[in-house]
Amino acid sequence: MRPENKSNVEIVEYSARYGDAFERLNVEWLDKYFEVEPIDRQILSDPMSTIIAPGGVILYARVEAEVVGTVALKYAGDGVYELTKMAVTERRQGLGIGRKLLQAAIRRFQQLDGNTLYLESHSSLGPAIALYESAGFCHETPPAPSEYARADVFMVYRGEAALTA
């Protein structure tokens, strides 16, 4: 297999034709680092009703015909979106796919005229935290307890202003 780079990664919208890619990619990393929690199962087993129908978005990263990554914007109401369920299959990590997914998700958030974009993560995921920081996310105190037992990091997108502060 030839080496991949960012230029041959295509970001596409959620479609049923990609089958269980959303669930498969997320369960892959959750099983490796944590465990699949009940809230994960609820979201991953029915992304149409938990993400898409309420006004959210799911994006996929494809290399040729293979879906290798995903990210979701889960609508929380009042212009607030959670960046969630971002995963890149292990064999394709380190190729800039996560950054490309993150940038596409931020662009979609802006197109949706959202006013707040936040995420929850875990402090053990150093490369992911660094990626979020480099994209303009800032650490903040969560406004409420997380639905995820594993979450100990709360970040809010502050855009370009965060990168120059």
Cα radius of gyration (the chain) = 15
Do 154 and 118 contact (CB within 8 A), yes or no? yes
pTM tops 0.85: yes
163 pLDDT higher than 80: no
pLDDT in tens, 37-71: 999 999 999 999 999 999 999 999 999 889 999 99
What's the pLDDT score for residue 4? Answer: 44
Average pLDDT over residues 127-137: 95
pLDDT in tens, 25-38: 999 989 999 999 99
- Cα gap 85→95, rounded to integer Å: 19
Q: Read off the tokens for 19.
A: 């089958």
20 pLDDT higher than 70: yes
Q: DSSP string spanning 31-83?
A: HHHS---HHHHHHHH-HIIIIITTT-EEEEEEETTEEEEEEEEEEEETTEEEE
Domains of the chain, earliest start first: 6-118 (3.40.630.30)
- How does strand 116-121 pair with strand 80-88? parallel
- Cα gap 13→108, rounded to integer Å: 11
Question: What band does 162 get if pLDDT is binned at 50, 70 and 90?
Answer: low
125 pLDDT higher than 80: yes
